[in-house]
Structure formats: C-alpha cells, structure tokens
Structure 1
Amino acid sequence: MTLSYDLYWSFRSPYSYMIMPRLTALERDYDVTCNVRPVYPLAVRTPEFFETRDPLWFSYFMVDIHREAAFLGLPFRWPRPDPVLMDFATRTYPKDQPHIHRLTRMGAAAAERGKGLAFLEEVSKTIWSGTVDDWHLGDHIAQATARAGLDPAEIAAAADDEAERLHAVIEASQIAQREAGHYGVPMIAFNGEPFFGQDRFDQFKWRLEQQGLKAR
C-alpha cells in the first residue's frame, strides 16, 4: 500500500528549501506520495510572532541557515528580493505583498495538478540557491515551472484568475496544519503525527519504515 503524508511548506522559508532534495528523492525511490499544501509564511499570517522574539532568535537563525545549507551541500543565499516585503525602518510587514501571495497560489495550483513537489523544488531553487538575481523578473519562475513539468502560462493564469478560490485552499491548509500539531514550516503530518523542521526528516523516514515503506 502506498504511504502518503501532508507537507506544509512556505516559499519564504529557507528550511523549506533545504528539505526539498530529500523529499523528492524519497518519492523517487520509495512507494510514498506527498500531499503538497503550501501555506503563507508567518510574516504574513502572524507578523506579531517576530515582534516578540528575543534578538538572539534572529542572530542565531542567520548563523544556522548558512551553516545548515553548507552541511547539506546546498547552494544558498538570502533571496533578492525577499519573497516577503518588509519595512526595515519599522521592522513590520506591509499588508500589500507583491510576491508571496501569488507564489503560494501558484504552488497550490501546481499541487492540484499533481506536480506540487516538483514545483516547490524548482521554484525554491530559483529563489534560494543564489544563482539568480531578481528571480521575480523575466522568465525565471516560468522556466522553473516548465522544469516541474507544468505549463507556465496555465499555472500563472490559474494563480490570477482563480485567486479567491486558491486563497481559500491555502487558508484551509493553514487551519489543517495547526490541527495536525504545529504552525511552522516545513512541517510533515503523517498518521496523526507532526514532524516540524527539515532536521526531522530522518525521524519521519524512520516512522515511514515502521509503517512498511517499500522501495520502488
């Protein structure tokens, strides 16, 4: 029997980017499928989360993301531009966001077409690997969409023409995420158990093996 799990994932999360090669390899090599459920980042959902963080939270985070990428052998640079616009003078997040809502809708549309995992990997590499400046301009995202096996024009049109419906899908995923046991990303939910963070991948795979994970 094919095993399946839910993946709650954000385009603004470096750790979400970092888990993708392992998730795509898992589905390639084993009889398991991922139910991709993109969500908006905390900076959009609950921006007050960051207002109450100890300053050491941010300084440690900046050290850890670069160290973790190096440990995993992944190219990494903070995106230019950031997928979430921040007002650095006030350290607040404006309600009007030019990138993240559309990106997330595109991810939800890709998931509906059975290509969600490939889309997340290709787009996150484009945004986070440091190989592209101004990822939001030109055809960078369109090329990533095509590499994921999707029609770039069709996905872009769905994100725009079905914005209200896809927004509702994303919000439903955010509710389901909390019900599954956590609010952060990347988060995997399998058999009623949450696995929060890319560093829980090995525990997640161990749990799959306990439930009969089979090689393809």
Structure 2
Amino acid sequence: MSQQFSNQGGAANSDPNALVRWLTSTMMTRLFTPEKMEARRDRAEARRKKSGEPHRVKYFHQVDDGYSHLAAQVLPALVERYDIELECYLVRGPAGANLPEPDLLLRLSRYDAYHVAPEYGLEFPKHEQPLTDGLRAKASAILAAQNPKAFIECAAVVGRALWAADAEKLEQLAAEYGSVSESETEQALDRGTALRTELKHYSGAMFHYGDEWYWGVDRLYHLEKRLAALGADRTPGEPLLIDRPSLNAGSLKDNGSLTLEVYPSLRSPYTAISFDRAVQLARDTGVSLSVRPVLPMVMRGVPATREKGMYIFMDAAREAQAAGVPYGKFKDPIGEPVRKAYSLYPWAVEQGRDVEFISSFLRAAFAEGINTNRLSGLKAVVENAGLEWTVAKGLIGRGGWEERLEENRLAMYEAGLWGVPSFRLLNAQGESVLALWGQDRLWLFARAIQRELEKNKTDY
C-alpha cells in the first residue's frame, strides 16, 4: 500500500486537496504571525486617529445564545472601565454552512454557559430546554427598542428574565423600557445580521474592534489588553474585568479513578495548541487519559466557510501566543496527510506511542512547517514520536483505522459534542461529569477534576 504515495505527495491533479493545502499553508503562515497581527492593529489605530473617531466597539447580541447572556452582564462594566463608544446590535444565529449542528450548538451554549458563569463571577441558570418562540420574541422586541446606552443597561436584565422563563417579568420590562412591533424587531435583526456579515463574521456574542473579532467573555481579555495598550483604560493597573483563566492542575492527585477523554483531530488548529496541555493535565492530576481521535470536520462532510476559517486560524494564533504555545509555521495536512497518519495510528497504539504520535504530527503540521504529505515529513513525525520508520513505511495506507475513528465520532456526538478538541471527564463509575468543546475549557476541566477529588476524599 505504501507504494501509492510518492515522496512529493502526489501530483495536484491526483490529489484534490493539494491546492487547498498550498493556499491555506501560505495564507495562514503569512497572515497570522504575531508581527502581522500587530501590524494590522497599528494600521487600524492609525485610521482611527486620522478620522478622529473614538475607540468604537461593536457588540452583536443573539438573545437565545447562552454566551450572549454572559457577555451582556459585562457590558456596563466594560463601558465604565474603558474609554469606548459601545454600539450594540441584535443578530440572528449562525446559518447555512456556518451552522453545521444548529440544535447541538444552542444546547451546548446553555450547558457551557451554566458551567462557566460562576467561574467568571457571572450567572446563568440550568436550562436544558430551548427557549420558547414567544419569550424569545418578547425579549428581542424590548432590546430592539433600545438606544445604545439603554441596551447596555437592560440587556442582562432582559436576559435574566428570558432565561428564567419569566413572562410576567418580561412584560414589566417591556412597559419600563419600551418595545417595538414584530416587523420593527425583524428589521433590527436584519440590520445587525447584515452588518456582522459585512464585517465578516457569523456568530452571536461577538465584539468587533479595529478589524478584529473577540468572542464573548472568553476572548474579552484580548480586547481589554488591546484597549489598555492604546491608553483607553480608565483605571490602568487594575485586574482585567474578565481575565484569561489559568490552567492550574491543583494540589489533589488522583490514582486513575477519573478519566479524561480527549477528542483530537489532526487538522485542527485548536487541537494543535491544546493537545499537549491536555495530556500534561492528565499526567499532573493523575487521572487516566483516553485519547479518541476523529476525522477533521471538513473531511467528514461538515462545511466550513471562508469567514469561519479565517476567524479560527486568527483566533488560534492569538490564543497560542497568549498561552506561550509554539504555533504558526503551518503546513495544512488536510486530505492525504491526515489519512496517511491515521493509517499508522493503530500501530502507534500497539506500540504504546499513540499520544506521542499525535503530538508529533500536530507539532510538525502547525508549529514546525513540516510537509506531512511527503514521506520525509511523515518520517520525521514517526521518529519524533519514538517509533521506527523502517516499520512504519510499510504500514502507510493500511486500513482498519476508519472504524475506530467513527466509533469515537459517535461517542463524541452522543456526549452532545461535534467539534474538536472536545473533552469529557468521567467518574470512577464511567459516568460523565463534564463534557465540553474547546481548547479554552481545559482550565474548567482542571477545576472539575479537583472538585471530584475533593468530593471523593470527603466521601471516604
């Protein structure tokens, strides 16, 4: 089987992903270095100064999105702390190719917001069922009637009543703050959604400043630091409103009774910047580690738009820099490189080097700029994982891995997750304690592990 793969990775006309690999590798390496990102910020600031405009931040609010309710709670403190002009817009949720799993996304936003809120000093109720159309429409009508100052003042209040399913309170708020008709609400949603599209994004709970996007409270620290660097912080030196949570393994150590499941993909920027940290978290806390790789989303038929791809690669570069993780010399492994690597994965498992193999591949593709479609590149991956290339090269292209990855995908979906990296913490009975998507949730798993260990300690 290995003879079908040339050292050059095959001709472009025999590999439909060859052009995609070249384009993404070139663009992402050039666009999202720290230097290029800082240069774009400098240009945006120069334009702002030349036009005499204030520090104008745009916020896009989606009423049925849990992350938007968290963000709404921070708006008053944000305008008090920073010398900004905050414009608020109502938007619809993602649609089309930007929303591959609509039901799962809203459900996850509720579940995730419930677990994240107290860690940020915010609030979100346990809310397993979707919002009703009537309550959502009433909340939207109230917010659509507000000017920017009033929106900032009442968005969290309206959201609190909405998520509490308190129809009577919403009626009181409509009388207090005012509301608009259904057609006027639709017009407001159209305007906000159109502006967001014009600015090249697709999601709710988003802040936009100076040609850069920031997702909800989880990315607010990036925006706060940028505003502070521009002299817009009214209380410099004070702690950030919402800082980036530290990944602290904690003092309690497990004996392997808990299990941390990790669902990585070999073509995921977010996996690349978090996989080693997830492995280290398991080692530092003593929990068992179960690595369950899946095919990249685009290789299992989940579409990805240009806007989504550009945001993900930019955000991953920004997050990697903040975490001090090597990242940025990128050789896209979509298609054949991923398939070749996964054909070696069962063998790596047999050798007890599966974790090292995945780590080596991600580092090569996302931090070292190694072309994993070349045999020389794959050889480097194999040898850096502590495996024998003389054996591996005879196994490239071997089948049997597809079923294993599909089992992992189904388990991930059963947990209510679909993107990567996803994580799940299981207790000693194999029951799910926490299941979340995203490299920015590792700190939450670290805290959940400590809580479980503390609970187990008191139980005995």
- State TM-score, norm by structure 2: 0.39
Partner of 1:188: 423
| Distance apart, 1:11 and its partner CA | 0.6
**Residue 99 in 1 paired to residue 337 in 2?**
yes
**Residue 198 in 1 paired to residue 198 in 2?**
no
Amino acid at match of 2:339: H
Aligned partners of 2:388, 2:409: CA distance in 1, in Å?
Answer: 27
Is residue 123–residue 144 contact of structure 1 (8 Å, CA) maintained in 2? yes
Aligned partners of 1:109, 1:7: CA distance in 2, in Å?
Answer: 19
Identity %, equivalent residues: 24
Question: Equivalent residue of 2:271, what SS?
Answer: helix
Amino acid at match of 1:79: F
Is residue 417–residue 437 contact of structure 2 (8 Å, CA) maintained in 1? yes
**Residue 36 in 1 paired to residue 291 in 2?**
yes
Aligned partners of 2:361, 2:307: CA distance in 1, in Å?
Answer: 30
- Going from structure 1 to structure 2, the CA distance change for 1:30 and 1:151 (only over 3 Å counts) comes to farther
Matched length = 194
**Residue 83 in 1 paired to residue 338 in 2?**
no
Is residue 109–residue 166 contact of structure 1 (8 Å, CA) maintained in 2? no
Question: Within 5 A, what are the aligned runs for 1:156-175?
Answer: 156-161=393-398, 163=399, 165-175=400-410
Partner of 2:359: 121
Is residue 36–residue 111 contact of structure 1 (8 Å, CA) maintained in 2? no
Partner of 2:377: 140
**Residue 178 in 1 paired to residue 413 in 2?**
yes
Aligned partners of 1:138, 1:121: CA distance in 2, in Å?
Answer: 18
Question: Equivalent residue of 2:288, what SS?
Answer: strand
Q: Which has the higher contact order (CA 8 A, sep 6+)?
A: 1
Q: Deviation per CA, 1:155-177, whole angstroms, max 9, x where unpaired?
A: 4544533x1x2111111111111
Is residue 265–residue 420 contact of structure 2 (8 Å, CA) maintained in 1? yes
Q: Deviation per CA, 1:43-82, whole angstroms, max 9, x where unpaired?
A: 01123x32xx5x64344323212211211122322632x2
| Distance apart, 1:208 and its partner CA | 1.2
Question: Equivalent residue of 2:267, what SS?
Answer: coil
Aligned partners of 2:283, 2:409: CA distance in 1, in Å?
Answer: 27
| Distance apart, 1:33 and its partner CA | 2.5
Aligned partners of 1:7, 1:113: CA distance in 2, in Å?
Answer: 19
Partner of 1:11: 266
Q: Max radius of gyration: which structure? A: 2
Query: Gaps (5+ residues) in structure 2?
Result: 1-254, 427-431, 455-460
- Going from structure 1 to structure 2, the CA distance change for 1:60 and 1:132 (only over 3 Å counts) comes to closer
Aligned partners of 2:342, 2:301: CA distance in 1, in Å?
Answer: 16
- Going from structure 1 to structure 2, the CA distance change for 1:195 and 1:114 (only over 3 Å counts) comes to farther
Partner of 1:45: 300
Question: Equivalent residue of 2:321, what SS?
Answer: helix
**Residue 111 in 1 paired to residue 362 in 2?**
no
Is residue 272–residue 366 contact of structure 2 (8 Å, CA) maintained in 1? yes
- Going from structure 1 to structure 2, the CA distance change for 1:154 and 1:23 (only over 3 Å counts) comes to farther
Partner of 1:92: none
Aligned partners of 1:158, 1:209: CA distance in 2, in Å?
Answer: 41
The Cα RMSD (Å) is: 2.4
